Amino acid sequence: MSTDFSFAHLSDIHMRPEGMLYNTMDGYERASRVVDAALTVETPLAFMLITGDNIDEIEPAASYARLKQLLARVKIPTAFALGNHDVRREFRIAFEHELGSFLAIPGISDYPCHGKTFVGTKRILVLDTLVPKFTHGYLDDGQLQWLATELDQHHDGPTILALHHCPLPIPTRRFAKYQLTNADALERVVLNSRVKPIAMLFGHIHYSHIGLFGGIPCVSAPGIAMGIAPDALQGLRMTDAAGFNLCHVIDGRFVVNPVITQAESRTVKYDMEMSWQ
């Protein structure tokens, strides 16, 4: 029996309340186009994975309600990671009925929203790299220990690891310091684990970025709310790009095909200040 499967990897929706634009663009319309494109691929999808910045932190309750409206069309299992623009408590309130046993720490709280979920024999481990009110990411000791314990347990199916902030080096120098600040600690856990994930998936940087991390493929998804140009070394050049990753496991090997649904031709904004925290 074949164990091959495929799934869609989306990231950085940055949903805002109805009537509020994102960089002059209708974020709901853009996200709808990407989600519809993912759902209409000819390849059957086992699940959808969304790696953070699900909303844009503005009126979080209204933004999560609009996100749920968007995702009502998705009839396959969906797993979420949280990004720096998400709000843990409001996310838990909005999605408590859908999350089930996913959260390692249940209940409505501000604790990190990490955990695991299964789609058949496929195990998805999600980490929460959110540092409230800051742009960079960090994994506390509790999450790292939890991950080490999970990866030391025998599991017959494939394991996929998901988080928001980039653990790889990136070429956009002014954006580099806003990535995962203790990626070395995460890499030690992966290197020392008995069960190796087949892939690590992330978001945050809004463009396709692929490398090895702890010996496993590590891949970002194109942004949905906007794109970021990886060649802009003097600042942060935001574009009108949007897309998702179509991911496959074929004969035990992980492969990814970035799918662009919106062209990258137009620069929306070139931020030379980078005044984030």
Per-domain residue ranges of the chain: 12-271
Q: Which residues contact 74 (CB under 8 A, 6 or more apart)?
A: 35, 39, 48
Distance CA 23, CA 180 (A): 25
Provide the greatest CA pair distance for the chain.
55
Q: Which CATH architecture is the domain 12-271 placed in? A: 4-Layer Sandwich (3.60)
Distance CA 277, CA 275 (A): 7
Mean pLDDT, consecutive 10-residue segments, the chain of 277 residues? 87 88 74 96 96 92 94 92 94 78 60 90 95 95 96 92 97 89 97 95 96 97 91 82 95 94 66 57
Using alpha carbons, list the distances in angstroms from residue 238 to 89, 187, 244, 265: 29, 30, 17, 11
Least Cα distance to 210 among 160, 250, 243, 167 occurs for: 167
Q: Extract the tokens encoding 195.
A: 């069960």
Q: Which residues contact 267 (CB under 8 A, 6 or more apart)?
A: 229, 237, 238, 239
* pTM higher than 0.85: yes
